[in-house]
Chain A
Amino acid sequence: QKEVEQDPGPLSVPEGAIVSLNCTYSNSAFQYFMWYRQYSRKGPELLMYTYSSGNKEDGRFTAQVDKSSKYISLFIRDSQPSDSATYLCAMSRYNTDKLIFGTGTRLQVFP
């Protein structure tokens, strides 16, 4: 079993929809949780970061962490075609630790 599980999709939604992406994990030592966005043939770029449990909002994006369930989510409101990309969750035990990534969910937002 992988440490971090993520549905690979693809997920196809119409423009303006609310998108929900999520990951589950098995290692209770993870404390730092991140979401990266990766466009085709590009390196991943950080979207959201959360420490421990709780919610964090940044514009159209909301990240949620539920450590009791070992479950993290990313919500995208008012999705745009430019949001079409692969979304990778990542987590680590402490701030200097390696990041462990999910397989990524491919999202397509159609006009």
Chain B
Amino acid sequence: GAGVSQSPSNKVTEKGKDVELRCDPISGHTALYWYRQSLGQGLEFLIYFQGNSAPDKSGLPSDRFSAERTGGSVSTLTIQRTQQEDSAVYLCASRQLQGRGNTEAFFGQGTRLTVV
């Protein structure tokens, strides 16, 4: 596709339910990142994928959060037993890594999650 696509764009869920957020990166981009942005806050790193493996998952806030990536493409972020503090915008970014140079990380529009 032309850019990073995230779905759904908005999600309202009841406390205690599980949610799945999807990210379609730019075709050919090997690196994929998930971030969380709470109201008035910067972007909080969650997890980084290189291909299908996750060399850095240090930002996942609890074991209720998990993510996977299949076929080096689509990624799913799953939040189990959602809590109200999980309410935030979840942003995905992808990047084509080239040698030692820096390359731009392109962000999707985000999924706005509201837990009621």
Residues of chain A touching chain B, judged by Cβ–Cβ distance below 8 Å, are: 4, 6, 8, 32, 41-46, 49, 51, 88, 90, 95-96, 98-104
Contacts and interface: CB of A to CB of B under 8 A. Distances in A.
A96 B50 contact: yes
Contacts of B45: 98-101
Interface stretch (B14-22, B35-43, B67-75, B80-88): B35-43
Given A42-B109, A43-B4, A43-B107, A32 B102 contact: yes
A72 to B, nearest CB: 14
Nearest to B98: A95
B33 A96 contact: no
Interface string B29-66: 00101010000111111001010000010010000000
Interface string B75-116: 000000000000000010100010011111111111000000
Given A44-B43, A49-B104, A103-B40, 12 more contacts: A4-B42, A32-B102, A43-B108, A43-B109, A44-B91, A45-B107, A46-B104, A46-B105, A95-B103, A96-B97, A99-B93, A101-B42
A49 B101 CA distance: 11
B62 to A, nearest CB: 19
B102 to A, nearest CB: 5
Contacts of B42: 4, 6, 88, 101-104
Contacts of A42: 109
A95 B104 CA distance: 10
Nearest to A49: B102
B107 A44 contact: yes
10 contacts: A41-B109, A43-B108, A44-B91, A45-B107, A95-B101, A98-B48, A99-B43, A100-B45, A103-B41, A104-B42
Most buried by B among A45, A96, A98: A98
Contacts of B107: 43-45
Contacts of B41: 103
Contact of B100 (A44, A88, A95): A95
A98 B46 CA distance: 9
A103 B43 CA distance: 7
